[in-house]
Amino acid sequence: MSNALATGVRYFEAPGIEFVVEDVPEFGLHDAEDLVAWIERIAAVHEYRIAQLTFIFCSDDYLHKLNVEYLNHDTLTDIITFDNADDADVLEGDIFISVERVADNARDLDISFRDELHRVMIHGVLHLLGYHDKDLLSQTAMRRKEDYCLSLRGF
């Protein structure tokens, strides 16, 4: 997987981190600079260096096609993370997020879109940091780690 799939409009770009809006209308990512600083803090806490993280915000259809093509999963999902790093202490990857799934999840959980979006974004980063969520025990650990990371936002 490479950044070649991230062909949409660059919404915000900082050294090492960029936000791309693929096939959805802009959705109010007003805190991009704060998000970058937060993600950099999370990487630093885990003693990782950010080489390149690309967050691609897209539709259910767009993400579903990727899920089928690359993971052979014929289901909707809120996030797919592709790790492009060659080194163990480096974050490099593409994080695809369905804005539609995030909105639906936020409604179902009765939380703000912003909080759910941040949770999903950091979920992708945690995957790149080596956290998994394939079984109940790892899902519980992942949720605790997400909550911890969310507590470090400061904005």
Binding annotation for Zn(2+): 123, 127, 133
In the chain, the N- to C-terminal Cα span, in Å, equals 32
Q: Concatenated DSSP letters for 63-106?
A: HHHHHHHHH---S--SEEEEE--SSTTEEEEEEEEEHHHHHHHH
Closest CA to 128 of 80, 73, 82, 71: 82
Q: How far is CA 19 from CA 4, 70, 93, in A?
A: 14, 21, 12
Residues within the annotated binding site? 123, 127, 133
